[in-house]
Amino acid sequence: MAGCIHKTLTKVSSDIDKLYDATLMQISIRSKHAADLRKQRADTNLAAIMNLMKVQITLEQDAEILAVLEEQKTNLLEIIKKKTEKQAKFKIAENKAVSKLQNQFSNLEKSVDEKFAVILKSIENGQSAVNSWAQIASQNAQKEQKQQDTISVTKSTQKQT
Protein backbone atom coordinates (compact mmCIF):
# COMPACT_ATOMS: atom_id res chain seq x y z
CA MET A 1 0.00 0.00 0.00
CA ALA A 2 2.81 2.38 0.90
CA GLY A 3 4.53 1.60 -2.41
CA CYS A 4 1.35 2.47 -4.30
CA ILE A 5 1.04 5.79 -2.48
CA HIS A 6 4.71 6.54 -3.14
CA LYS A 7 4.31 5.81 -6.87
CA THR A 8 1.17 7.97 -7.02
CA LEU A 9 2.92 10.84 -5.23
CA THR A 10 5.89 10.55 -7.57
CA LYS A 11 3.61 10.57 -10.62
CA VAL A 12 1.62 13.57 -9.32
CA SER A 13 4.84 15.37 -8.45
CA SER A 14 6.21 14.66 -11.94
CA ASP A 15 2.97 15.93 -13.50
CA ILE A 16 3.11 19.07 -11.38
CA ASP A 17 6.71 19.67 -12.45
CA LYS A 18 5.72 19.30 -16.11
CA LEU A 19 2.78 21.67 -15.62
CA TYR A 20 5.05 24.15 -13.85
CA ASP A 21 7.60 23.99 -16.68
CA ALA A 22 4.84 24.45 -19.29
CA THR A 23 3.46 27.41 -17.35
CA LEU A 24 6.90 29.00 -17.15
CA MET A 25 7.31 28.53 -20.89
CA GLN A 26 3.92 30.16 -21.55
CA ILE A 27 4.81 33.08 -19.28
CA SER A 28 8.14 33.43 -21.06
CA ILE A 29 6.43 33.46 -24.46
CA ARG A 30 3.84 35.97 -23.24
CA SER A 31 6.48 38.26 -21.76
CA LYS A 32 8.50 38.08 -25.00
CA HIS A 33 5.36 38.90 -26.97
CA ALA A 34 4.59 41.79 -24.59
CA ALA A 35 8.16 43.07 -24.95
CA ASP A 36 7.84 42.91 -28.74
CA LEU A 37 4.60 44.88 -28.55
CA ARG A 38 6.23 47.52 -26.30
CA LYS A 39 9.10 47.76 -28.76
CA GLN A 40 6.69 48.27 -31.67
CA ARG A 41 4.81 50.94 -29.71
CA ALA A 42 8.06 52.70 -28.87
CA ASP A 43 9.08 52.72 -32.56
CA THR A 44 5.65 54.03 -33.51
CA ASN A 45 5.88 56.72 -30.82
CA LEU A 46 9.30 57.82 -32.07
CA ALA A 47 7.98 58.11 -35.61
CA ALA A 48 4.94 60.08 -34.40
CA ILE A 49 7.12 62.44 -32.34
CA MET A 50 9.40 62.98 -35.35
CA ASN A 51 6.42 63.86 -37.56
CA LEU A 52 5.03 66.22 -34.93
CA MET A 53 8.43 67.93 -34.63
CA LYS A 54 8.61 68.40 -38.39
CA VAL A 55 5.15 69.96 -38.40
CA GLN A 56 6.00 72.18 -35.44
CA ILE A 57 9.25 73.29 -37.07
CA THR A 58 7.43 74.35 -40.23
CA LEU A 59 4.85 76.28 -38.16
CA GLU A 60 7.18 77.81 -35.57
CA GLN A 61 7.79 81.57 -35.80
CA ASP A 62 10.02 82.11 -32.75
CA ALA A 63 13.72 81.67 -33.58
CA GLU A 64 14.72 80.42 -30.11
CA ILE A 65 12.00 77.77 -30.04
CA LEU A 66 12.84 76.84 -33.62
CA ALA A 67 16.52 76.32 -32.66
CA VAL A 68 15.52 74.10 -29.71
CA LEU A 69 13.16 72.11 -31.94
CA GLU A 70 15.90 71.64 -34.55
CA GLU A 71 18.28 70.45 -31.82
CA GLN A 72 15.67 68.01 -30.48
CA LYS A 73 15.01 66.80 -34.01
CA THR A 74 18.74 66.14 -34.46
CA ASN A 75 18.85 64.26 -31.14
CA LEU A 76 15.82 62.23 -32.09
CA LEU A 77 17.30 61.39 -35.49
CA GLU A 78 20.49 60.27 -33.73
CA ILE A 79 18.47 58.00 -31.43
CA ILE A 80 16.60 56.49 -34.37
CA LYS A 81 19.88 56.01 -36.26
CA LYS A 82 21.53 54.22 -33.32
CA LYS A 83 18.49 52.07 -32.79
CA THR A 84 18.41 51.12 -36.46
CA GLU A 85 22.14 50.32 -36.44
CA LYS A 86 21.71 48.10 -33.37
CA GLN A 87 18.84 46.28 -35.00
CA ALA A 88 20.87 45.81 -38.18
CA LYS A 89 23.87 44.51 -36.22
CA PHE A 90 21.64 42.16 -34.28
CA LYS A 91 20.05 40.90 -37.49
CA ILE A 92 23.50 40.31 -39.03
CA ALA A 93 24.66 38.45 -35.92
CA GLU A 94 21.46 36.43 -35.90
CA ASN A 95 21.88 35.51 -39.57
CA LYS A 96 25.51 34.51 -38.96
CA ALA A 97 24.50 32.33 -36.01
CA VAL A 98 21.72 30.66 -38.00
CA SER A 99 24.08 30.09 -40.91
CA LYS A 100 26.70 28.60 -38.60
CA LEU A 101 24.13 26.28 -37.03
CA GLN A 102 22.92 25.21 -40.48
CA ASN A 103 26.51 24.44 -41.51
CA GLN A 104 27.11 22.48 -38.32
CA PHE A 105 23.90 20.54 -38.90
CA SER A 106 24.89 19.80 -42.50
CA ASN A 107 28.34 18.65 -41.36
CA LEU A 108 26.72 16.47 -38.72
CA GLU A 109 24.40 14.93 -41.31
CA LYS A 110 27.36 14.24 -43.60
CA SER A 111 29.31 12.71 -40.73
CA VAL A 112 26.40 10.47 -39.78
CA ASP A 113 25.93 9.44 -43.42
CA GLU A 114 29.64 8.60 -43.70
CA LYS A 115 29.55 6.58 -40.48
CA PHE A 116 26.49 4.67 -41.69
CA ALA A 117 28.27 3.97 -44.98
CA VAL A 118 31.31 2.67 -43.09
CA ILE A 119 29.10 0.53 -40.87
CA LEU A 120 27.20 -0.86 -43.87
CA LYS A 121 30.46 -1.57 -45.69
CA SER A 122 31.87 -3.38 -42.66
CA ILE A 123 28.63 -5.38 -42.37
CA GLU A 124 28.86 -6.25 -46.07
CA ASN A 125 32.52 -7.21 -45.67
CA GLY A 126 31.65 -9.25 -42.61
CA GLN A 127 28.80 -10.88 -44.50
CA SER A 128 31.03 -11.69 -47.46
CA ALA A 129 33.63 -13.07 -45.04
CA VAL A 130 30.93 -15.20 -43.43
CA ASN A 131 29.78 -16.29 -46.88
CA SER A 132 33.32 -17.17 -47.93
CA TRP A 133 33.83 -19.09 -44.67
CA ALA A 134 30.55 -20.84 -45.28
CA GLN A 135 31.65 -21.70 -48.83
CA ILE A 136 34.97 -23.03 -47.56
CA ALA A 137 33.20 -25.07 -44.90
CA SER A 138 30.77 -26.39 -47.51
CA GLN A 139 33.63 -27.32 -49.84
CA ASN A 140 35.47 -29.00 -46.99
CA ALA A 141 32.33 -30.89 -46.08
CA GLN A 142 31.93 -31.99 -49.71
CA LYS A 143 35.58 -33.10 -49.85
CA GLU A 144 35.18 -34.93 -46.59
CA GLN A 145 32.02 -36.59 -47.88
CA LYS A 146 33.83 -37.61 -51.07
CA GLN A 147 36.70 -39.02 -49.01
CA GLN A 148 34.28 -40.94 -46.83
CA ASP A 149 32.49 -42.18 -49.93
CA THR A 150 35.77 -43.35 -51.47
CA ILE A 151 36.79 -44.97 -48.19
CA SER A 152 33.47 -46.76 -47.92
CA VAL A 153 33.69 -47.82 -51.59
CA THR A 154 37.23 -49.06 -50.97
CA LYS A 155 36.11 -50.97 -47.87
CA SER A 156 33.18 -52.49 -49.67
CA THR A 157 35.42 -53.59 -52.58
CA GLN A 158 37.89 -55.02 -50.12
CA LYS A 159 35.11 -56.96 -48.43
CA GLN A 160 33.91 -58.26 -51.74
CA THR A 161 37.36 -59.41 -52.69
What's the pLDDT tens digit per position in 23-73?
Answer: 767 777 777 778 888 888 888 888 898 898 899 899 889 999 989 999 999
Q: Where are the domains of the chain?
A: 1-57, 60-126
Most confident of 70-74, 83-87, 127-131: 70-74
Q: Could you tell me the CA-to-CA distances from 127 to 74, 96, 106, 131, 153 in Å, in that order? A: 78, 46, 31, 6, 38
Rounded to the nearest integer, the mean pLDDT of the chain is: 81
Length of the chain in residues, anyone?
A: 161
What would the pLDDT profile of 94-110 be if each residue is shown by its tens digit?
Answer: 899 989 989 998 998 99
pLDDT at 134: 73
Helix (H) or strand (E) holding 73: helix 63-160
